[in-house]
Amino acid sequence: MTRIKVLAESFPIRGSFTIARGSKSEAVVVRVELRDGAHVGQGECVPYARYGESVAGVVETLIALAGRIEAGLRRDELQLTLPPGAARNALDCAFWDLDAKRAGVRAHELAGLPAPGPALTAFTISLDTPQAMAEAARASGHDLLKLKLGTEGDRARLRAVRDAVPGTRLIVDANEGWTVENIAENLAACARAGVELVEQPLPAARDAALADIPHPVPICADESAHGLDGLPDLIGRYDALNIKLDKTGGLTEAIELARAAQAHGLDIMVGCMVATSLAMAPAMLLAPLARFVDLDGPLLLAQDRAPALRYEGSVVYPPDPALWG
C-alpha cells in the first residue's frame, strides 16, 4: 500500500527576489512523499498566486487524495484526476521517483528520454535600478544571465547591464510588464543589446498582438504557456515555450508538451519557480530537449535542501538518485 505525506516548507531567499509583480524573501514549497514500505518517492511544487494557487489549497488537495492513493491510484491516472498546476506536479514527480526506485532504473529510462548531462543554466538578476542590476550582473560570474524587467526604465537597465558585462549572454523576462504601446521599442533595445530571448513581454490576456508585430528577438511564452490544451493558441504568437513543471502539472505532461511544441517548430526553455533542488531535479530530464535551461532556483536561496543538485559556476549537473529519480 502506498501512503502519502504532504509538507509545507519555507526556504529563505538570499537577499530578495523581485519581478515586475513584486518581491519576496522566502520560497514556500510543498513537498510530497509517497511510501510503499520499501521505497520512498518525492516531489516538490511551488503554489503560485498568479495562477490562483495557495499553499493551503495545494496541501488540502493532495491530502484529500490519500484514500485513492492507498487504493492504488497510479501516475498515469493523474491527468484525469487533477488539473495542470502545482498540486499535480508534486504528486506526478513523486510517482516518477517512486516508480524509478521500484524498477531499479533511472527516471529518464522510464520516460524514454536521453540521459541528462551537465547543462548551462541561466542565472536571474532581479528587477532593480540600472546601477544595481549592472553591479549584480558584474558580480554574478555567470555566463548566461536572465534580466527581470517589466517597468519604466527598462531600456536604461539593458544599457547598464550590457555595458557592465559586454561579453555575457543575456535573456530578458518582462513578466507581462510591457504594453502594446512600448513593446516594439523595448524589443528593438533588446536586439541592440544582443539579447537572445525575451520572455512573456505582454500580459497573457493580450498576447494575441504578438502575431502582428516584428520579432527582432525571439519571444518566449511563460505565463501564457501551461499544458497541452493551450499550445494551439501560442503558435504564430511565440517562437519558444518556457516549460515549467508547476504549470504543466508535472513531468508527464511536460514531456508531451515539449515534443508537441518542437513538432510545431517552437524552441524549448525549461524553467522553474524559486525552489529547491528537489523541484529542479525532474526538470533536468527536459534539458536535452531545450535550447535554454533556466534552473537556477536553488542558487537564489540562502540554503538549499540536502542532498542537492551540484552547481559549478554556470553549470548544473543531473541529480543523484538519493535526491530524485
| Number of Cα atoms under 13 Å in the Cβ half of residue 218 | 17
Please give the average per-residue pLDDT across 185-211, as a whole number. 97
Mean pLDDT along residues 66-90 = 96
Q: What one-letter code names the amino acid at 101? A: K
Closest CA to 208 of 246, 237, 177, 175: 237
In angstroms, the CA 207 to CA 136 distance is 31
Separation of alpha carbons 318 and 325, rounded Å: 10
pLDDT bucket at 146, cuts 50 / 70 / 90: very high
- Quick one: which of 268, 223, 286, 269 has its CA closest to 93? 286
CA distance 146 to 126: 9
Q: For the chain, which residues make up each domain, given as ranges?
A: 3-104, 119-316
Tell me the CATH class for 119-316: alpha beta
C-alpha to C-alpha distance for 194 and 309, rounded to whole angstroms:
30
Tens digits of residue pLDDT in 200-256: 999 999 999 999 999 999 999 999 999 999 999 999 999 999 999 999 999 999 999
Within 10 A of 66 (CB to CB), how many other CB atoms are there? 15
Contact partners, residue 56, CB within 8 Å, separation at least 6: none
pLDDT at 24: 77
Inform me whether the pLDDT recorded for 94 exceeds 70: yes
Which H or E run contains 111? helix 107-111
What are 1-58's pLDDT values in tens digits?
A: 999 999 999 999 997 787 866 777 899 999 999 999 999 999 999 999 999 999 999 9
- Give every CB contact of residue 133 below 8 A, 6+ residues apart in sequence: 125, 126, 127, 147, 157, 160, 161
**Tens-digit pLDDT profile for residues 254-307:** 999 999 999 999 999 999 999 999 999 999 999 999 999 999 999 999 999 999
pLDDT in tens, 168-182: 999 999 999 999 999
Residue 161: all three cell numbers together: 547591464
* pLDDT on residue 20: 65
Q: What is the CATH number of domain 3-104?
A: 3.30.390.10
Sign of the dihedral defined by the CA atoms of residues 261, 84, 202, 127, in that order: negative
pLDDT at 73: 96
pTM for the predicted model, two decimal places: 0.95
- Integer Cα distance of 136 and 124 in angstroms: 10
Active site residues: 148, 244
